[in-house]
Structure 1
Amino acid sequence: MPTEPVNLIKLCVGAEGIDDLLDWQKRLRAIRTARGEPPEHRHITRMWPKREAELLAGGSLYWVFKGVVLARQRVLRLEEVIGEDGIRRCGIVLHDDVIKTEAVPRRPFQGWRYLSMTDAPADLSADRLNETALPPELASALAALGVR
């Protein structure tokens, strides 16, 4: 029987919105390229997902900006990363494409959490992809009212 995919959800700390995430990842890819490393984006986290097979069966990492889910990136694979302190960490390798999603409010939490496919926000339709993003506070207020 095929594995049912699962997603992760994580706060995008320090980013005002999707453009900040894109700029941050672009800078990190340039640093990795300069070091002779693959230019893919790898998000480092302390914990290794126990549901690895489900995550790698088509899951994404959903990004929360200032209390609102606005985007996702497909998870390509997980890599072991040993920090300078000798501690084993998980490198979540993400696809370069950042996919905009419907704005859905999310309360603060630490680390990452699992997010089922049924609870995941829908991707924005093609006719909405070029919309200018609303300020996170307004997007959150509208999403709380059920207006997306």
Structure 2
Amino acid sequence: MIHMVKLCVGVSSVEELEGYREERAHWWGADYGEDVHVHRTRMMPKRGDEMEGQGSIYWVMSGTICCRQRILRLASYTDPEGKNYCDIIMAPEIVRTVPYTKRPFQGWRYLRIEDAPPDMEAGGNDNSAEIAAELARMGLI
């Protein structure tokens, strides 16, 4: 099993990403059911079989990994002009993680299980997420 890490371009907070859950699957005419979140990317991962149904996509916002979503499956999509894409079909639940600073990069990267930041404890309040994010920015966690 392997995970994916990807920049969440144009989204600056977990709350903003949560706001997109309801509409995102339908932005590109994708219809994978009502209870999913879809992200379209240009390339199909070569190691996709190691992610489907078992890995997660870890989202980087403002230079920090701060949450993840479980990858349900990957689907090929070809637009009317013949360009190929990969639709990443994810569970709608967004799980906050311990913030982890990540340098900018293009596209997406694989993330080994042992390198993935742990989930924040259930029941943690917004202050604990903010404190952890600030500690990550300072390089202390």
TM-score range, shorter chain: 0.7 to 0.9
**Which position in structure 1 is the counterpart of 2:140?**
145
Structure 1 residues 49 and 145: CA distance shift in structure 2, 3 A: same
Q: CA RMSD in A?
A: 2.2
2:87 paired residue among 81, 88, 91: 91
Distance 2:2 2:82 in 1: 30
User: Deviation at 1:12?
Assistant: 0.7
User: Deviation at 1:36?
Assistant: 9.3
1:49 paired residue among 45, 51, 68: 45
Q: After TM superposition, what 4+ stretches of structure 1 lie above 4 angstroms from structure 2?
A: none
Aligned pair 1:80/2:66, yes or no? no
2:126 paired residue among 125, 131, 135: 131
1:61 paired residue among 57, 60, 77: 57
Deviations, residues 22-67 of structure 1 (Å, cap 9, x unaligned): 11222224x47xx793222211111101111211251000000100
Tell me if the contact between 2:69 and 2:94 (Cα under 8 Å) persists in the aligned partners. Answer: yes
Distance 1:100 1:36 in 2: 26
Distance 1:16 1:36 in 2: 24
**Which position in structure 1 is the counterpart of 2:117?**
121
* TM-score for the superposition, normalised by structure 2: 0.86
* TM-score for the superposition, normalised by structure 1: 0.82
Paired positions, count? 137
